[in-house]
Amino acid sequence: MSLAWKSGALLGTPEQGVLFAAWLNGAQAGGAAETSRALSAPSCAGPAPLFAAHDGGPWRAARSRDGLTDGWDAGRLSGMAAGACDIVVTGQQPGFLGGPLLTLHKVATAIALARLRNDAGLPTLAVFWCGDDDDDLVEALAPVGWDPALDTLVRAEGRVSARAGNLGRPLVGATASARWCAPGAALLERLATGPGATVLAADLASMWGCALRENWSWSRLNVAALQRVFTGQPLAIVRGNDPDLHAAAAAFYGAVGPLRERCSELAHRQGRVLAAATGRAPVSDRSLAHHLFVAAGDRRVPLAMTAALPAPSQLRPGVMLRSLVQDWLLRPVAVVVGPGERAYLEQIEPLYAELGVPRCALVPRLFGWALPAGLPGERLAALLAGAAAPAAQAAQLADELAVRAAADLRRTLTAELGVADGRAEALAAGRARRWRRGIAALFRDEGRRQWQLAAGAVPACVFPDGQRQERRLALAAAAAVWGDDLASAVIDAACEHLSRGAMGQWREYVVS
């Protein structure tokens, strides 16, 4: 299968979030300036702690000793220890069939950034932080696979039970693949044996079958799948639930220990500023309270703000500290982020200065679509335009009707009931305002329904469950359908995304 890519709709719209849109469209402190900085930033001074400090020794030794398939060969480790190579990093938690397609877009953007830096004479490696210490099972089980032969969506076992809160909150990476992945394995087997089967589909089907037979952890399966999808690319992976990784951050945890309450207050203060501007703080009070966890089997237990810290190998950071741990360990020259990450990083920005962690450039990930054969890009563009229309159209129609209704009601009150004109005007205006809200909701819901009917006329992979493809379609299933050319095309699109984005020309991309 030969795939090509082209640019599509503009980025920087409210659909991507108010903070993200403002950042993309910003000037000196915006996404274009940070991307330009990431493309040309000089190498960091010396190796990062994970590759040089004494505390990182067990992590490095495990890579050399155990032959782990996470991309850290002896040559790469040696180069990192010598400070001869920089890092760009991105991350995501594991998910059903490899997690949502946006994971592919994040990794492809990191690889593209590394490629462009390498071409400029700045040796750079892309690193993926696998958040397998996450315990949000609802999010992990949300992605869906696509069966093109039947044009149906395939869902994970346990998805309904997780949404009902019946499965608890185990560490998603530590759970057995067999617990969630049988439907995904069956789908990959169908894709590997059906018409137009790709080599990648066969390899992924074999991998899922092996994971079920040998009872792999979900983390191991997700890491192996990502390495296969990006075969031959400069990619290495670290795992958030690796005790040796957190042992390597002993100096960081030692420094943050007595400053935890101070860090929490700084994050709360910044959250109040952002909430005043956008209506809601990116990081909830609950998440800020759960700043650190202690790994306990397949669970993580919140650590009280005033509790003594256990051994660093037992610690797992919450939202408030996860990016800080990552950046302290890896000293990246850039981090590839999506809208949610960009928002919460803005809230914890003051913590970087407080803890003395360098703040590197933030780079927006690729946004894009993979279209099945026979679906023209123009059809997608029309649907995307229609997706934004219901809310705006509903407000306009409701405003027009409310003005007419208020005028009619005012005339009726004065003519039929003899109400004084001033009082009639006030009564009519108040009633029309309340009526307008209900009418606007009616128009919005019906407009959305009509859009969903139109979207349902295209293959189910384009708007799975009525959502953007990259947020719901599963990575491994998409890669199996489109084959090895998918990753290559997306990386090439990401190179264009970064090059044009550095000049403020942000667009999403379509692969078909």
> Would you list the DSSP string of 406-435?
HHHHHHHHHHHH---HHHHHHHHHHHHHHH
Q: What is the pLDDT of residue 21?
A: 86
Amino acid at 57: G
- Beta carbons within 8 Å of 335's beta carbon, 6+ residues apart: 88, 89, 90, 323, 326, 327, 360, 361, 362, 363
Q: What is the pLDDT of residue 28?
A: 64
Amino acid at 294: V
* d(C-alpha 366, C-alpha 354), whole Å: 31
Q: What is the pLDDT of residue 449?
A: 65
* d(C-alpha 422, C-alpha 404), whole Å: 17
Strand, helix or coil for residue 136: coil
* d(C-alpha 413, C-alpha 274), whole Å: 45
Which pairing describes strands 315-317 and 292-296: parallel, antiparallel, or unpaired?
antiparallel
- Beta carbons within 8 Å of 121's beta carbon, 6+ residues apart: none
* d(C-alpha 96, C-alpha 83), whole Å: 36
pTM, entire model: 0.88
- Beta carbons within 8 Å of 13's beta carbon, 6+ residues apart: 21, 388
Q: What are phi and psi of 400, to 5 degrees?
A: -65, -45
* Alpha carbon separation from 201 to 190, 351, 434, 484 (Å, rounded): 9, 44, 55, 9
For each of the chain's 512 residues, which pLDDT tens digit applies?
Answer: 578 999 988 887 767 777 888 888 876 678 899 999 999 988 877 899 999 878 999 999 998 776 677 899 888 999 999 999 999 999 999 999 999 999 999 999 999 999 999 999 999 999 999 999 998 999 999 999 999 999 999 999 888 888 888 888 889 999 998 888 899 999 999 999 998 899 999 999 999 999 999 999 999 999 999 999 999 999 999 999 999 999 999 999 999 999 999 999 999 999 999 988 888 889 888 888 899 999 998 899 999 999 999 999 999 999 999 999 999 999 999 999 999 999 999 999 999 999 999 999 999 999 999 999 888 888 888 777 766 655 667 777 878 888 888 888 888 888 888 889 889 888 888 888 888 888 877 877 676 666 666 666 789 999 999 889 999 999 999 999 999 999 999 999 999 999 999 999 999 999 99
